[in-house]
Copies of this chain bind each other. A is one copy, B any other.
Amino acid sequence: MNTVGEKLQRLLGKDKVVTDPTIVRLYSREATGLEPDSLPTAVVLAENASDVSRLLAFAYQHDIKVYPQGSATSLSGSALPSDGVVLSLERMNRVKHVSVVDGIAVTEPGVRIDDLNIELARYGYMFPVDPASSSVATVGGAVNSGAGGMRGAKYGTMRGWVLGLEIVLPDENGTVMRVGCKTVKCRQGYDLVRLIVGSEGTLAVVTEATLRIIPAPEAVVTVLAFFDKLADLVEAAVEIKEERLQPLIMEFMDNCTVERAVEFLGWPQKVAGHMLLVSVDVNREATSRVLAQLENIMRRSGASLVYTAGSLDEANRRGLFDLRRSLFPAQVALARSLTGSERVLVYIEDIAVPPSRLAEAVEGLRRLEEKYGLPMMLGGHIGDGNLHPAVGFDPEDADAKRRVEAWFFDVMKLAVELGGTVSAEHGIGVMKKDGLRMELESLGSLKALELMRMIKRVFDPKGILNPGKVV
């Protein structure tokens, strides 16, 4: 008898609790491809904060583990469930309120980032955080993962754009409370909002978010350039910053990756070399001047090939973003052709290093590729130093899996050696707990882990909420 499931059905209503193992299994998958140790008992499809509150009070009383879930696009295993109950927020998907005057949008956690932006576009506004998964990633997931994206160099990550939250605590009452404000300035004692942002569902369940919104840029100019020498590309990036441009997007792919992506896309063009893709937002009157300025920097620094576009539409139409967007599908195709297997798993790293250390990072990563014999695709957000090296393998191949895991850790070590961090935007989850410890140890900050564990106990004394993640 599925007694927990039945009790939950009595508590919340039959239509909100799924116990069919086939469906439960669907809710136990994660973008990482990790498999749960054991299958959850049920999936709760909450419709409001009160459902969440009753579930958490019940879970507290009966020591049942609860795994909150948005759309499970986590790349660190932070949405991976185990025995217990999956709490899906997908039915809480309303944009409740938009105010251009107050510069806010209030949404439920299940709203997809792209859907929010479609709504905001009606006012000429946008939400600036743009994780690559924005077509499926939810607001609640983005809050919990502290998501970033391509525009991170200019706009930072979720922590700068969440003003207030409604949360539910995993305590005896399933306490529902609001923290933070509706205004950008808010000094409400200790910053509990920012503690929840990036906590990967381990401290509380987010049931509503008040987000800061801004006007969409008037115009965006884009330059796509290719360099034979990596040092020249780095020089171009340095000059952009010295000329006081603040790019919206500054993306990078190394020469091997460009070659593989061009092959994947089946491009007839002769593009080759290290790729630098830069978009800058401008007033419309400045379009041609800034475009010329960017092109000039590229050519002066030694670019062999430069494409330009005076608007986002033009850049999209002419495919200037296509190479960058092909990074992950190209990696999957590469892994398939190398392993001869249809079923491949791609591990995407997510380190950040100070942009001044980029060349050393690329060299180090290519050394690791050679060391482990793992063909790597390498791209990233060079504006903020965030690199996403990726390798693919056949998960049935135990030897390959071991090599990939060793590579994964060595990449994190490289980042820390270069003064960087093991996770820029994907989070710790289960896959980077060792990495987090290594990073903090290298900073002489192991005590921080102790503080984090104590903070976890403050919010979740019984350790029932998304256990085993982060700390």
In the complex, the answer to whether B444 meets A384 with C-beta atoms within 8 Å is no
Q: Is A39 an interface residue (CB 8 A)?
A: no
Q: Is A428 an interface residue (CB 8 A)?
A: yes
Cα distance A386–B102 in the bound complex, in angstroms: 12
Give A346-373 interface residues, CB cut-off 8 Å to B.
350, 352-356
Give A84-112 interface residues, CB cut-off 8 Å to B.
99-104
Choose, from A28-36, A277-285, A317-325, the stretch at the interface. Answer: A277-285
In the complex, the answer to whether B428 meets A189 with C-beta atoms within 8 Å is yes
Nearest B residue (CB) for A125? B244
Nearest B residue (CB) for A245? B215
A103 to chain B, nearest CB (A): 7
Cα distance A218–B125 in the bound complex, in angstroms: 23
Q: Is A179 an interface residue (CB 8 A)?
A: yes
Choose, from A17-25, A193-201, A305-313, A332-340, the stretch at the interface. Answer: A193-201
Q: Is A260 an interface residue (CB 8 A)?
A: no
Q: Is A424 an interface residue (CB 8 A)?
A: yes
Q: Is A447 an interface residue (CB 8 A)?
A: yes
Instruction: Assign chain A's interface to a size class.
Output: 35 or more
Nearest B residue (CB) for A173? B447
Cα distance A192–B446 in the bound complex, in angstroms: 13
Which chain B positions have C-beta within 8 A of A218?
244
Task: Given A194-B194, A285-B285, A458-B458, verify A156-B148 contact (CB < 8 Å).
Answer: no
Q: Is A395 an interface residue (CB 8 A)?
A: no
Cα distance A350–B188 in the bound complex, in angstroms: 12
Cα distance A177–B160 in the bound complex, in angstroms: 24
Cα distance A376–B140 in the bound complex, in angstroms: 43
Which chain B positions have C-beta within 8 A of A195?
190-191, 194-195
Nearest B residue (CB) for A352? B183
Which chain B positions have C-beta within 8 A of A175?
447
Which chain B positions have C-beta within 8 A of A459?
451
Across the interface, A444 reaches (CB within 8 A) one of B100, B176, B425, namely B176
Cα distance A148–B181 in the bound complex, in angstroms: 15
Choose, from A8-16, A400-408, A415-423, the stretch at the interface. Answer: A415-423
A148 to chain B, nearest CB (A): 5
Residue of A169, A244, A444, A456 contacting most chain B CB atoms (<10 Å): A244
Give A156-189 interface residues, CB cut-off 8 Å to B.
156-157, 159-160, 169, 175-179, 181-189
Cα distance A424–B146 in the bound complex, in angstroms: 23
Give A257-301 interface residues, CB cut-off 8 Å to B.
282-286, 289-290
Q: Is A241 an interface residue (CB 8 A)?
A: yes
In the complex, the answer to whether A191 meets B185 with C-beta atoms within 8 Å is no
In the complex, the answer to whether A178 meets B428 with C-beta atoms within 8 Å is no
* 8 cross-chain CB contacts under 8 A: A103-B241, A178-B444, A183-B421, A188-B436, A189-B440, A189-B470, A215-B241, A286-B286
